[in-house]
Amino acid sequence: MSDDPKLALIVSDSAKAQAGAKSLRDAYAWVSPVDADVLVVLGGDGFLLHVLHEMLDWDFVKPVYGMNLGTVGFLLNGQHDHVPVTQRIAEAHRVPVRPLCMHATTQDGQEFSYHAINEVSLLRETRQTAKLEVRINGRVRMEELAGDGILVATPVGSTAYNLSANGPILPLGSRMLALTPISPFRPRRWKGAILPESAEVEFRIREPGKRPVAAVADQKEVRDVSMVRITATAEKELTLLFDPGYTLEERIFAEQFQV
């Protein structure tokens, strides 16, 4: 009896991914995602994040082994057709990913909840500078931050928008969050903070009518917010699988030494 895991194949609509899937479709006895032990995802980073977000809405969460048939492929493995997928999965390194949960309240009292794997960002909607009150675990830590906005990033997301905003790169497994201002005007010298993953982060918008702010959880946007609360959720923890020697952690190390 074979001990190979049951695999489901999920492929991006891109021509590159569809072409790469041709040789795989007939090589294995693929099953549906609900019956699978592992999801094999072909595409780019954006498509992988799309699949992960879909899983957060399903009643089941499965480990994901991604193969890069997109552009950057930071969250995916390379293509190695000479090594069976089952062997690669059996030897893979497991990386836990704990998503953020964003609870946003709009100026007219509507409430929205979305998950974010990379980051939750607050961004000014107009030319007017955003003004935000920053609370950590219910305590006001900054009465007013003026600038383009602010973001909270996970370790996985710390090399994405967070890094572009001059935020810190967080090692995987650190169970930390990056709190990073976006083009801050006041206070000018504040560079952000590193918070424990257990922290509850809350932003309250000052002068929301004059200075409207949008909240974005990865690709999900809520406009004209008055308050945003962010927590990490252990109940929806995801697992990414990486080839030995090609782990996400190694790529995060490499990002810190690029010149």
Question: Does 230 have pLDDT greater than 80?
Answer: yes
The binding site consists of 45-46, 50, 118-119, 148, 156, 159-164
Of 3, 26, 45, 81, which is the active-site residue? 45
Looking at this protein, which amino acid is placed at residue 154? T
Q: Which residues pair with 150 in a beta bridge?
A: 122, 181
How many other CB atoms are found less than 10 A from the CB of residue 105?
18
Question: Does 248 have pLDDT greater than 70?
Answer: no
Which CATH superfamily, name and number, covers 100-232?
Probable inorganic polyphosphate/atp-NAD kinase; domain 2 (2.60.200.30)
Question: What integer pLDDT is reported at residue 134 of this predicted model?
Answer: 98
What would the two tokens of residue 163 be?
């890094």
Instruction: Output DSSP code: residue 171.
Output: P
Domain boundaries, the chain: 7-97+236-256, 100-232
Mean local confidence (pLDDT), 230-254 = 82
What average pLDDT does the chain have? Answer: 91
Q: Pick the residue with more confidence: 258 or 199?
A: 199
Question: What integer pLDDT is reported at residue 259 of this predicted model?
Answer: 60
Sequence-distant (≥ 6) Cβ neighbours of residue 73 within 8 angstroms? 44, 45, 66
Range list of β-strands (E), the chain: 7-11, 38-43, 64-68, 93-97, 100-106, 111-116, 119-124, 130-136, 139-153, 176-186, 193-196, 201-205, 213-217, 220-222, 225-232, 238-242
The binding site for NAD(+) consists of 45-46, 50, 118-119, 148, 156, 159-164
**Surface-to-core class of residue 244, CB atoms within 10 Å of its CB (0-12 exposed, 13-18 middle, 19+ buried):** exposed
Whether 100-232 and 7-97+236-256 are alike in CATH topology: the answer is no
243 catalytically annotated: no
Question: Does 110 have pLDDT greater than 60?
Answer: yes
CATH of range 7-97+236-256; options 3.40.50.10330, 3.50.50.60, 1.10.760.10, 3.40.50.280: 3.40.50.10330
HSE-CB at 140 with a 13 A cutoff on CA atoms is 8
How many other CB atoms are found less than 10 A from the CB of residue 102?
27
